[in-house]
């Protein structure tokens, strides 16, 4: 006797979209979350007069009203389309390398080309050619993923798709500043251009350029809460402050889960939004299938982040923030920046999100909510004893402020609230190994051509959705949850 | 399709030659999380120290004597007892992690302060949360010249901050203005005086039987410009201290208040609906049960009265752990509640500082 038709472990983006999709399709679903609020990364918290956005820098894929293939369709199918208020960012980002580059890219192809020509004269046709390639590779990749037969696919995808992004940038441009300016979204993916497949960088740049970068009024928490609300309204049940401690199996097949209070809940299908190492580690009464064990052993726990969530008693203009998103890198050596994520050496690159250039409602009038993020691997903290943790954390935080002084001189004087999150903080709130925020390291060995955890979990009744089973980031994980749920429902139908 | 791509053999070779990751990520992740943020700590009372006729310090250790999670001086732990919980500041030094000291003063008529003092003895077990809270020195913007206004047991976090400065050899100027009702009520007197004696950068001023007026603050502490002022003490101290500091021209954002419990008289807040009697009872339905509770009792306490234990720590509206959803009916959410922007829209409140105005249905 089943208690539920399906259990979803974790209320991150993918867990929420999976749960809502299942319940709305008629499957009686239990959603279990360790934390006391939904969202995983997609959450916020309060300090003083401010609310702090934890993770959403720029939501990709939303698109303009009526634009095809956008996330809006997904939000509608989750029943939250009319409950979210999107706030558009008009620029992709400002990119600054002190003393070398300072360019603001509009979120519009033609305008971006103009801007780059002004900043890097003589490159117009190369930029056009590069952006054409970005579009082509992205559209072809999507076609390929959807099963279009190879003969119908322009081989340009096969020539460029898996090349390191750095090669492709080098092929198009000479100016290191221009390459860095066009490639900087690599930090959203966690791998430097030398290790990042071009099709992944292209997809990201395309998603923001064609569908614009967006924020949500009320932050990502408003989205998480809305999806949960839709799930509950459809009759779903949720347990917060509850962790799944084991996935029960019988005869190699999923039977249900055990919760941390010892209760067992029975269901034929379990969707896990938890990390793959933890999910498979929780399997009880069976060995991890050899195929899975071998696969996971060759994947690398991904990068985490170090963040300053700040409330500043000044307007964005007073502070010097002209765009919602600003990347400040100390130089154009991306490999060097990436190398710095492995240790506590001073931060070399910071992504600044200023949430009041296009306000999301998190700061009072006249004030600004800003987050400063640099990526970092959890093992950078291995040598820090717990007794020295807080000192080390604030000392490292100072190095991010030092970098940001290049765009917002005097930012320290405006601080009214600031809270610091390290990879250990991320591990606490997400329960993921290494506090990883994009799942496994998304280098060229990841991606759908080499890993198929989402399609083939190798344990009947187990389903995997989220940044660990596919690409990280908001759009990919929201889509993954719904996709996995639909696939599960189709299977249920066909069994019946 | 993969074979059509350039570069595949290289990538496959890389996968092939990688050293296998054989770590036990399940155990390692749990270890890291527990090192800093355990959900619960099972502690033993190692010693009970009589501080004053009305105050005891409970020295808590792990049974195995191992170090406790690190904390920032000024933080608290939630202590679970007698069907409820209370946030209590750690008064010991963050440099000594083999124990946490919790310093508890009798609150006249207070249920848990008296319960702890009357019943907790050496050898007893206590369950707490990990260290929490934002009332601590933050080197990113507090500066190295700070003032602390303490009243009564509000000295507990100040004591920890001072011990932090001493034990870690910090170059911070710290001025404590400590109000007590009378001489024998002063907690930590000897230690405070001893510390201050040899250290010009640590100053302690006792204010006995008097209010911490603007004049007193100015005379003792001198100009406040640029300094962070911490305030911790009885609820009545807060609006009063803010008024005095404001009169001195001190910026609001250079004042930090410790969380201070649910308002005892919510009906005095401006948005309490006119004519609604706080004593009258309404029916609360939650967790499959219905019970009557007076409007003026915070929902969290009301739920605990009836054996329902939502997660909770600060009990002051800040940490959001006690968040519940109001499915039907209306609540008064006190000013103290730090709700998220989206909470109101979807019907969430912080039960520790929310009061039932009408009959209610809650989702826990
Ligand atoms: C600082 C920061 C900045 C970021 N910036 C961006 C950005 O600008 N754009 C973008 O697209 N992406 C960004 N990301 C990444 C993005 O937020 C994540 O990749 C994405 O949200 C991951 O979603 P997920 O579905 O994998 O679930 P997660 O968010 O990883 O959530 C997993 C959930 O599962 C729960 N869980 C785990 N184990 C258990 C268990 N045993 N029992 C019960 N529950 C469990 C966890 O508590 C958590 O709620 C950022 C992330 C961070 C932290
Ligand atoms: S217990 Fe912290 S907000 Fe209620």
Please tell me the CATH code under which domain B139-257 is placed.
3.40.50.80
The pLDDT score that the predictor gives to residue A193 is 98
Residue B290 has pLDDT above 70, yes or no: yes
How many angstroms away from the CA of A394 is the closest CA of chain B? 7
Confidence of residue B287 (pLDDT cuts 50, 70, 90): confident
Mean per-residue pLDDT, A282-296: 97
Verify that A31 and A108 share a domain, yes or no.
no
Q: Which residues of B touch A449 (CB under 8 A)?
A: 1-2, 5, 8
Is residue A65 domain-resident?
A: yes
Verify that A351 and A459 share a domain, yes or no.
no
Verify that A272 and A179 share a domain, yes or no.
no
Q: What percent of chain A has pLDDT over 90?
A: 97
Residue B288 has pLDDT above 90, yes or no: no
Number of separate domains in chain A: 3
Is residue A438 domain-resident?
A: no
Residue B179 has pLDDT above 80, yes or no: yes
Confidence of residue A496 (pLDDT cuts 50, 70, 90): low
Please give the residue of chain B at the shortest CA–CA distance from A147: B1
Is residue A68 domain-resident?
A: yes
- Write down the mean pLDDT value for chain B: 96
Residue B127 has pLDDT above 70, yes or no: yes
Residue A254 to residue A462: CA distance in whole angstroms: 6
CATH 3.40.50.80 positions along chain B are 139-257
Q: What percent of chain A has pLDDT over 70?
A: 100
- Write down the mean pLDDT value for chain A: 97
For residue B353, the CA-to-ligand 2 centroid distance in Å is: 8
Residue B355 has pLDDT above 90, yes or no: yes
**Can you name the CATH fold of B274-363?**
Ubiquitin-like (UB roll) (3.10.20)
Mean per-residue pLDDT, A442-457: 96
Mean per-residue pLDDT, B291-316: 97
Verify that A381 and A365 share a domain, yes or no.
yes
Verify that A80 and A22 share a domain, yes or no.
yes
Verify that A282 and A343 share a domain, yes or no.
no
A222 contacts chain B (CB < 8 A): yes
Complex confidence, ipTM: 0.96
Q: Do B341 and A144 touch (CB under 8 A)?
A: no
The pLDDT score that the predictor gives to residue A492 is 87
A431 in contact with ligand 1, CB cutoff 6 A:
yes
The pLDDT score that the predictor gives to residue A327 is 98
**Final residue before a domain boundary, out of A154, A180, A211:** A211
Confidence of residue A219 (pLDDT cuts 50, 70, 90): very high
Residue A1 has pLDDT above 80, yes or no: no
Residue B27 has pLDDT above 90, yes or no: yes
Residue with CA closest to ligand 1 atom 15: A473
Is residue A160 domain-resident?
A: yes
Tens of pLDDT, residues B69-116: 999 999 999 999 999 999 999 999 999 999 999 999 999 999 999 999
A23 contacts chain B (CB < 8 A): no
Verify that A206 and A225 share a domain, yes or no.
no
Ligand approaching nearest to the C-alpha of A18: 1
Residue A464 has pLDDT above 90, yes or no: yes
Q: Give, for ligand 1, the residue of A40, A353, A453 to mutate: max count of ligand atoms closer than 8 Å to Cβ.
A: A40
Is residue A437 domain-resident?
A: no
The pLDDT score that the predictor gives to residue A489 is 97
Verify that A409 and A460 share a domain, yes or no.
no
Tens of pLDDT, residues A46-101: 999 999 999 999 999 999 888 888 899 999 999 999 999 999 999 999 999 999 99
Verify that A307 and A369 share a domain, yes or no.
yes
Is residue A94 domain-resident?
A: no
Residue A38 has pLDDT above 80, yes or no: yes
Q: Which residues of A touch B253 (CB under 8 A)?
A: 48, 313, 416
Verify that A310 and A287 share a domain, yes or no.
no
Verify that A13 and A161 share a domain, yes or no.
no
The pLDDT score that the predictor gives to residue A360 is 97
CATH 2.40.30.10 positions along chain B are 38-128
Is residue A338 domain-resident?
A: yes
Verify that A418 and A376 share a domain, yes or no.
yes
**Can you name the CATH fold of B38-128?**
Elongation Factor Tu (Ef-tu); domain 3 (2.40.30)
Mean per-residue pLDDT, A207-216: 95
Tens of pLDDT, residues A371-392: 999 999 999 999 999 999 999 9
Q: Which atom of ligand 2 is nearest to the CA of B352?
A: 4
Domain span including residue A125: 101-211
The pLDDT score that the predictor gives to residue B329 is 97
Tens of pLDDT, residues A145-176: 999 999 999 999 999 999 999 999 999 999 99
């Amino acid at each position: 006797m089943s208690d539920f038709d399906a259990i979803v472990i974790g209320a991150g983006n993918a867990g929420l979209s999976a749960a809502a999709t299942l319940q709305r399709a008629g499957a009686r679903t239990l959603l279990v979350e360790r934390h006391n609020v939904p969202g995983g990364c997609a959450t916020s918290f309060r300090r003083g007069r401010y609310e702090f956005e934890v993770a959403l820098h720029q939501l990709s894929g939303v698109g303009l009203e009526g634009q095809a293939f956008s996330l809006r369709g997904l939000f509608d199918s989750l029943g939250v389309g009319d409950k979210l208020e999107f706030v558009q960012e008009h620029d992709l980002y400002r990119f600054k390398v002190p003393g070398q580059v300072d360019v603001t890219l509009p979120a519009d192809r033609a305008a971006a080309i103009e801007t780059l020509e002004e900043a890097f004269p003589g490159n117009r046709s190369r930029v056009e050619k590069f952006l054409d390639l970005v579009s082509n590779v992205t559209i072809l990749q999507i076609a390929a993923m959807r099963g279009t037969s190879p003969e119908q696919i322009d081989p340009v995808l096969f020539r460029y798709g898996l090349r390191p992004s750095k090669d492709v940038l080098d092929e198009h441009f000479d100016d290191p500043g221009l390459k860095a300016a066009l490639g900087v979204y690599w930090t959203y993916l966690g791998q430097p251009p030398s290790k990042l497949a071009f099709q992944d960088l292209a997809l990201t740049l395309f998603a923001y350029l064609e569908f614009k970068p967006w924020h949500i009024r009320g932050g990502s928490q408003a989205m998480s809460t809305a999806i949960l609300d839709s799930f509950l309204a459809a009759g779903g049940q949720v347990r917060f402050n509850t962790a799944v401690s084991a996935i029960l199996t019988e005869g190699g097949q999923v039977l249900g889960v055990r919760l941390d209070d010892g209760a067992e809940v029975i269901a034929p299908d379990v969707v896990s939004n938890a990390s793959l190492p933890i999910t498979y580690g929780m399997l009880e009464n069976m060995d991890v299938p050899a195929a899975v064990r071998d696969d996971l052993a060759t994947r690398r726990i991904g990068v985490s982040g170090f963040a300053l969530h700040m409330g500043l008693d000044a307007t964005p203009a007073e502070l010097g923030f002209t765009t919602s998103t600003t990347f400040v890198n100390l130089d154009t050596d991306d490999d060097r920046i990436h190398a710095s994520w492995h240790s506590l050496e001073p931060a070399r690159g910071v992504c600044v999100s200023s949430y009041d250039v296009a306000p999301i409602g998190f700061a009072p009038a006249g004030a600004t909510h800003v987050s400063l993020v640099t990526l970092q691997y959890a093992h950078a903290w291995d040598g820090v004893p717990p007794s020295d943790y807080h000192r080390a954390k604030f000392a490292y935080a100072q190095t991010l402020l030092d970098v940001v002084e290049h765009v917002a001189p005097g930012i320290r004087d405006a601080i009214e609230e600031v809270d610091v999150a390290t990879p250990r903080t991320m591990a606490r709130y997400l329960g993921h190994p290494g506090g990883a925020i994009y799942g496994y390291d998304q280098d060229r060995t990841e991606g759908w051509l080499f890993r198929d955890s989402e399609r083939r979990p190798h344990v009947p009744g187990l389903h995997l959705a989220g940044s660990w089973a596919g690409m990280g980031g908001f759009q990919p994980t929201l889509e993954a949850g719904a996709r996995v749920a639909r696939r599960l429902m189709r299977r249920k139908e066909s069994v019946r | 399709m993969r074979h059509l791509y350039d570069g595949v053999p290289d990538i496959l070779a890389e996968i092939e030659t990688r050293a296998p990751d054989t770590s036990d990520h399940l155990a390692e992740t749990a270890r890291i999380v527990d090192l800093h943020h355990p959900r619960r700590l099972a502690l033993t009372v190692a010693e009970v120290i009589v501080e004053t006729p009305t105050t005891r310090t409970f020295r808590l250790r792990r049974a195995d004597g191992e170090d406790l999670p690190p904390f920032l001086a000024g933080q608290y732990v939630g202590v679970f007892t007698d069907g409820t919980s209370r946030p209590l500041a750690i008064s010991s030094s963050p440099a000594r992690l083999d124990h946490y000291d919790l310093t508890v003063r009798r609150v006249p008529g207070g249920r848990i302060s008296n319960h702890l003092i009357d019943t907790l003895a050496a050898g007893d077990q206590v369950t707490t949360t990990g260290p929490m809270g934002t009332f601590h020195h933050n080197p990113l913007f507090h500066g190295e010249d700070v003032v602390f206004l303490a009243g009564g047991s509000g000295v507990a976090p100040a004591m920890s901050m001072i011990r932090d400065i001493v034990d870690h050899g910090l170059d911070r100027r710290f001025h404590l203005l400590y109000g007590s009702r009378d001489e024998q009520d002063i907690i930590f007197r000897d230690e405070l005086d001893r510390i201050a004696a040899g250290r010009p950068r640590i100053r302690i001023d006792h204010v006995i039987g008097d209010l911490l007026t603007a004049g007193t603050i100015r005379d003792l502490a001198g100009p406040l410009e640029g300094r962070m002022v911490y305030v911790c003490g009885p609820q009545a101290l807060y609006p009063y201290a803010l008024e005095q500091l404001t009169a001195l021209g001190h910026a609001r954002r250079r004042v930090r208040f410790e969380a201070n419990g649910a308002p005892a008289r919510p009906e005095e807040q401006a948005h309490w609906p006119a004519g609604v009697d706080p004593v009258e009872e309404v029916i609360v339905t939650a967790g499959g049960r219905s019970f009557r509770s007076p409007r003026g009792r915070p929902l969290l306490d009301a739920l605990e009265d009836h054996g329902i234990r939502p997660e909770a720590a600060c009990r002051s509206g800040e940490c959001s752990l006690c968040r519940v959803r109001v499915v039907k009916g209306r609540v008064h959410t006190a000013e103290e509640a730090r709700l998220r922007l989206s909470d109101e829209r979807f019907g969430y409140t912080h039960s520790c500082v929310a009061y039932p105005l009408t009959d209610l249905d809650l989702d826990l």
